[in-house]
Amino acid sequence: MDCVIELKGVSKTFRDFWLRPTVKAVDGLDLAVARGEVFGLLGPNGSGKSTTIKMILGLIAPNAGTVRIFGLEPRTVAARAKIGYLPELSYLHPFLTATETLAYYAGLCGLDRATAKERTRQLLDMVGLAGVAGRAVGSFSKGMARRVALASALVGRPELLVMDEPTSGLDPVSTNEVKTLIHTLSRAGMTILMTSHLLADAEDVCSRVCILDGGRKAAEGKIGEIGGSLEQFFLSKVGEGRDFKVAEFLK
């Protein structure tokens, strides 16, 4: 298998100021994502999805195990030249306009001015923000900011797109557009790693999923190989004992 992402025995424990362990976010995770796959990382809140993604991006260093992206250390510039990242929240400079934001990230990708300008125009057109290209992103709605962040992730024409909750904050029409975009990018040969709380989204776009629970891998497989719906499968793996005992509280 031509692996784009390879994690072997990866663990991450966060520590406080005195280096005392506070939380074990990921525990001995093995994962392999092949070229061209749309891979879903699923799990309840606090299961280690975002930490795993940040280790893949080189933003967080694992305590144990190895992470390889295209066979390279994720912190190397060569590895990150092939990655596009859409975070869960749209982290954007509020004082920059949409055009300036894309030009900034194009600059970080090392694109020359002419290419950056052309690609900025194309991407703003693609995400439907050409009409507000000159407005500061600080004045954008959540959905518009999400579109700018998505365009920023694609500005370097990455081979691997890492999306943390890609449909978070989007209306149903925009959600559908993002799903269509994921399908289009996947058909064009891009590898996509995404997390989602919305299992229907994962079912619609992912070719394979991994379910995390408490930092460990609870299950992994192709959508078609999982018996029943993904929701039933998910609940059977991580749903037990998670009821809020509302009746007991209301007594």
What residues line the site for another protein (CB under 8 A)? 14, 50-51, 54, 57-61, 75, 77-78, 80-81, 83-85, 87, 89, 91-93, 95-96, 100, 103-112, 134-136, 149, 152, 156, 162
Shortest distance (Å) from residue 224 CB to another protein: 32
Please, which residue, 40 or 48, has the CB nearer to another protein?
Answer: 48
H-only helix segments in the chain:
49-56, 77-80, 98-108, 113-126, 142-154, 172-187, 199-205, 230-238, 246-250
Query: Is the CB of 103 or the CB of 170 nearer to another protein?
Result: 103
Please report how close the Cβ of residue 49 comes to another protein at its closest, in angstroms: 12
Comparing CA positions, the residue from 51, 5, 57 lying closest to residue 30 is 5
**Least distance in angstroms from the C-beta of 109 to another protein:** 6
Cβ neighbours for 112, distance < 8 A, ≥ 6 positions apart? none
Task: Tell the smallest beta-carbon distance from residue 223 to another protein (Å).
Answer: 27
Comparing CB distances to another protein, the nearer of 100 and 220 is 100
Q: How far apart are CA 208 and CA 3, in angstroms?
A: 14
